[in-house]
Amino acid sequence: MDETCMKEKNVLPLLISLALPMVISMLINSLYNIVDSFFVAQISEDAMTALSLVFPVQNFINAVSIGFGVGINAVIAFCLGAGQPRLAHMAATHGMVLSGVHGIILTVAALLVMPPFLRMFTASDEVVQMGLQYSVIVFSFALITVLGISFEKIFQSVGNMKVPMISLSCGCIVNIILDPLLIFGIGPFPRLGIDGAAWATVIGQVSSLFIYSVVYVKRPISVQIHRRYLLPDRTLDGKLYGIGIPATLNMALPSLLIAALNGLLAASQSYVVILGIYYKLQTFLYLPANEFIQGMRPLIGYNFGAGEQERVRLIYLTTLGMTGLIMLAGTILCQFFPAELMGLFTDNGETIMDGQAALRIISAGFIMSAVSVTSSGALEGLGKGAPSFVISLLRYTVISIPTAYLLVRVMGPTGIWHAFWLSEAVTAVLAFFIYRRTAEKKDRHTVADYPDFPWHIGPENGVQVAVLGNAAAA
């Protein structure tokens, strides 16, 4: 999108135009996950077990890739908004090269860790063998995964959401088509079993990266990736990691919370099942909200870099309103149709009865959670990785786990459900104040860090400084 569009177009339709393509690709990706698991399950139960055991490592690689991609996205958008295309080119180039390094490291680490990792969770030689067959193929192409995600975030940083939608969708569709063909050997294709599932995944990822590469070459975006921009810049790299590392940790914290809650509920198997069903259901609620936040990140970063503080505030409030509406819809569904929702995953009458009570209690915190997730995402878009991580840390560990522990001791297992809305309420208040205080502060760097950045000279302890994020005034 051009500067006029990012800075002047009405915020709500602009935000929807950025988020809608990602919602579509998310739905297709969700379908792929279901179909992929379905075909693997047809091989054998051991094959499905092997796939499940490999998934955490796949998820870790995705978390690292997406987290660093968020850093690339935020820095590029900020630099473009501040009128510094050269810095944006440098951010994209450094980001892509560093992502390549990450991909190589993750490939080697994943291949080395898989044999002992699989044996930690199963004594079945058959499961271990299938897991190794699948992981060796998939993780040998981890570099492709990482580079594809980096391209996705670079395109999104300039407001181009359609190319990521098309690329991700095509990759998923290729995977879905190839799964049965390669697993079962349909037509001219060989019967490869679980190896076929792995090759279908790899070919789908290669297809996505191919589309990104072709579009980038044939229809160049405003950000260039070129070796002439690969100049040493510790400040720039520090900014990429300063946002990327907290974003990666943000993605890992929910897994820590689930593990802690499962530990508290270990004595009641039915409650563990209910907790698992809840997390399946809440995925369909928080994923659409997350797509609006993805659309917000480049928009809010661009305007922050351009010094449009009032528009930054409007973008934040509009996104908060949209995520709030999504959470309201989820609250209504859980309050009025909890038995039907539980029945999608179980036919056990006692589990459905206990589960519907749990959903009604937990959903009381949905609307309040909109403040936390929006504030955390907005801070990432502003390049404030550390405060964003603090909000996630409060929400997933510091407040939620002690609250759950205390309430379980006082109320029994049902205390877990009350811990959800209580934690959301407290975190929402803290998140709002963290966002306001952080968003109103300006980043300060020495002039030497960015010699061609719009700046004004001002005394700060005797040092000349450039006031970033206020380029319009400068």
Same domain for 204 and 258?
no
Same domain for 267 and 165?
no
Alpha-carbon torsion (451, 453, 459, 460), positive or negative? negative
CA dist., res. 127 & res. 123, Å (int)? 8
With respect to residue 289, please indicate whether it lies within any of the assigned structural domains. Answer: yes
With respect to residue 175, please indicate whether it lies within any of the assigned structural domains. Answer: yes
Domain hosting residue 168, numbered range: 25-231
Same domain for 70 and 134?
yes
Q: Which of 285, 287, 277, 278 is nearest to 330 (CA)?
A: 285
pTM, two decimals, is: 0.75
Same domain for 198 and 258?
no
With respect to residue 9, please indicate whether it lies within any of the assigned structural domains. Answer: no
Whether residue 387 contacts residue 438, with contact meaning beta carbons closer than 8 Å, is answered with yes
Length of the chain, please? 474
Same domain for 310 and 170?
no
Same domain for 81 and 216?
yes
Whether residue 294 contacts residue 74, with contact meaning beta carbons closer than 8 Å, is answered with no
Confidence (pLDDT) at 30: 64
With respect to residue 464, please indicate whether it lies within any of the assigned structural domains. Answer: no
Confidence (pLDDT) at 461: 33
Same domain for 201 and 317?
no
With respect to residue 461, please indicate whether it lies within any of the assigned structural domains. Answer: no
Same domain for 211 and 348?
no
* DSSP output for 90-104: HHHHHHHHHHHHHHH
pLDDT tens-digit series, residues 413-426: 899 999 999 999 99
Same domain for 104 and 167?
yes
Per-residue pLDDT of the chain (474 residues; tens, 9 = 90+): 555 576 677 888 888 888 888 777 777 766 666 677 778 878 887 887 788 778 778 878 888 998 899 889 889 988 888 888 999 999 999 999 999 999 999 999 999 999 998 888 778 889 899 999 999 999 999 999 999 999 999 998 888 888 988 998 899 899 989 999 999 999 899 999 999 999 999 999 999 999 999 999 998 888 999 999 988 888 899 989 988 888 888 887 887 788 788 778 866 767 877 887 887 788 777 878 888 898 888 888 888 888 888 899 999 999 999 999 999 999 999 999 999 988 877 788 888 899 999 999 999 999 999 999 999 999 988 888 889 999 999 999 999 999 999 999 999 889 999 999 999 999 999 999 999 998 876 544 433 344 444 333 233 333 333 333 333 322
Count of domains for the chain: 2
With respect to residue 182, please indicate whether it lies within any of the assigned structural domains. Answer: yes
With respect to residue 454, please indicate whether it lies within any of the assigned structural domains. Answer: no
Same domain for 210 and 260?
no
Task: Provide the residue type at 315 as one letter.
Answer: I
CA dist., res. 188 & res. 194, Å (int)? 18
Same domain for 258 and 120?
no
With respect to residue 226, please indicate whether it lies within any of the assigned structural domains. Answer: yes
Confidence (pLDDT) at 406: 95
**At which of 231, 246, 276 does a domain end?**
231
Sorted by sequence, the CB contacts under 8 Å of residue 380 that are 6+ apart come out as 70, 74, 243, 246, 247, 297, 388
Same domain for 210 and 338?
no
**At which of 170, 197, 231 does a domain end?**
231
CA dist., res. 374 & res. 320, Å (int)? 6
Confidence (pLDDT) at 456: 32
